[in-house]
Amino acid sequence: MTHEKQHPILLDYVRQYPLPHGVRFTYGTAGFRSEGSILASTVFRAGILAALRSLKTGSTVGLMLTASHNPISDNGVKIADPDGGMMIQQWEPFADALVNAPDPEHLLQVSALFHCTLLVIQFVKEENIPFGGGQSANILLGRDTRPSGDALLEAAKQGINSVVGAFAIDMGILTTPQLHWMVRNINKGTRSSESDYMEQLAKSFRCLVDLAPDNTMESKLVVDGANGVGGEKLQQLKKILSGLDICVRNTGKEGEGLLNEGCGADYVQKEKAIPSSFGLDDVGMKCASLDGDGDRLVYFIPSASSNNVDLVDGDKILTLFALFIKEQLDFLCNEQGFDNKEAVSLGVVQTAYANGASTAYLKKLGLEVVLAPTGVKYLHKEAATFDVGIYFEANGHGTILFSEKFLSHLQARSDELSSTASGSESHKSGLRLLEVSRLINQAVGDALSGLLLVEAVLQYKGWSIKAWNELYQDLPSRQLKAKVADRNAVVTANAETKVVKPPGLQELIDEETAKYPCGRCFVRPSGTEDVVRVYAEASTQEAADSLAQSAVQLVDRFLGFAGSHQKA
């Protein structure tokens, strides 16, 4: 089929999904997000985008409907590339242009419609996409538990159907990481169903526990499911798990509360407060919290004082994983494993939100620490440059990447040692690393696989959550946000640690920061909300609070409109 024949088909479909008036959508750090009630046209066009991406790559891609940790009234859409990661950044400008192409309800109908479809045709030519040429495209669809999900799913299907040869495959209600995992596996030609996912996690966790010393550990874990899909899937997973006693609360059942309201990883991490459904009976317990779509994880210990928690955030998770991976690699390199010519590169990737104490601790271990802008797409790219790359944001979103070359070498070495040195620490270390690569979701951050790896490593180390939390002491910090009309008025550089625009703002932030011992402060535009986010660190909580408030005031002064300042 030629472009000319595809063109009128697109026209017919586009008419069904006019853009809402006066709204502009931006592809942020995790796709498009907004109020679910105004997203139909965006999701429809994202369906076109996913179909084109599948045609371009000749592989299956994914489309996920979720707004993660946002309120239940919000929703969003993101595209998963064939490797299971986020859509390549080079396509983001086209994504923005596509979803914001003028609406026929507000402009001349024919010219507006042609504007939209000609945009697609032009992009197809530039990218040399086999559009309307007989090639098929497959798009896996997933959604979380938001009420707006069903209607938006239909819009996504219509967008996909508007591209000849494109097929939508509805995978049902999933966590975001599950969909990414499925896309990655199906393109690798390996087992890719939801039951395969569950079985792999349970099997690899069991193997890691079996390879651990016979340590005594806290087997009881209480998990806050954020009243979202993650809690629902964890309930399913625990049925086939052994060696771990999990109690799930905030599962999303009727009467338990609303999605992400007073619960979830974002709430616990930002507020440092106990989530709903937890109370005095949980004081001192090992607890964890997922976010709304199951891609973030933080741990916490409910405090006996007021409503506070001792937070064990993404920085501490990264540190735990880095300690474990480094120890296994040391066994490999120092015993019968890799010689100096085969030295393995191990690196950790953080954002500016990482607590300064965590960065200092990691560097003290001799690890290479790389700073990346906020957003998984940036951290993932940096982590992929290492044989083993570990990345985590402080909010609990992260994973571990293993290069194919390293895994192949590791498998060969483990096979060799199984016949010559089976049972040696070097052989066990190789087996542990292989199982970690199977347990952790290498496509994207995954709260469920991350939780099981945390538990396996704590079992290996024989640590309580208290011992883990005491690896280092966080510097006091505060996150705030200022509501603004245009978040893009703030432009940053150096992994978002320095403001480039508006001119002069950074100099005043630096002057203010210099007043505080151990002071550190940066501001950045949010990737998901129309706010400017502020982060401050200092030697005391009072100082961190004061520095953050001062930075918010500076943002207001430079941007010219004061907003509501609240915890981020």
Render pLDDT for 489-529 as a digit per residue (tens, 0 to 9). 999 999 999 999 999 999 999 999 999 999 999 999 987 67
Write down the pTM of the prediction.
Answer: 0.91
pLDDT on residue 255: 73
Render pLDDT for 38-59 as a digit per residue (tens, 0 to 9). 999 999 999 999 999 999 999 9
68 φ/ψ angles, rounded to the nearest 5 degrees = 50, -115
How far apart are alpha carbons 532 and 484 in whole angstroms?
Answer: 7
Tell me the β-bridge partners of 370: 349
Q: Is 394 annotated as a binding residue?
A: yes
- Catalytically active residues are 68
**Cβ 391 vs Cβ 383: under 8 Å:** yes
How far apart are alpha carbons 96 and 117 in whole angstroms?
Answer: 14
Which is nearest to 145 in space by CA: 336, 356, 294, 28? 294
Tell me the β-bridge partners of 392: 398
For the record, the structure tokens of 148 come out as: 């707006």
Domain 477-567 listed as CATH 3.30.300.30: no
3-173 topology per CATH: Alpha-D-Glucose-1,6-Bisphosphate; Chain A, domain 3 (3.40.120)
pLDDT on residue 359: 96
Low-confidence ranges of the chain (pLDDT < 50): 1-2, 104-113, 336-337, 340-341, 562-564
How far apart are alpha carbons 118 and 111 in whole angstroms?
Answer: 10
Q: How many CB atoms lie within 10 A of CB 239?
A: 8
Q: Is 525 annotated as a binding residue?
A: yes
pLDDT on residue 343: 77
Domain 315-469 listed as CATH 3.20.19.10: no
Q: Is 526 annotated as a binding residue?
A: yes
Common-topology check for domains 201-309 and 315-469: yes
- CATH, range 201-309: 3.40.120.10
**Cβ 554 vs Cβ 56: under 8 Å:** no
b/e sequence 61-75, b meaning 16+ C-beta within 10 Å: bbbbbbbbbbebebb
pLDDT on residue 256: 81
The DSSP secondary-structure symbol of 308 reads B
How far apart are alpha carbons 465 and 15 in whole angstroms?
Answer: 56
Domain boundaries, the chain: 3-173, 201-309, 315-469, 477-567
Task: Find the length of the chain.
Answer: 568
184 φ/ψ angles, rounded to the nearest 5 degrees = -60, -45
**Cβ 424 vs Cβ 417: under 8 Å:** yes
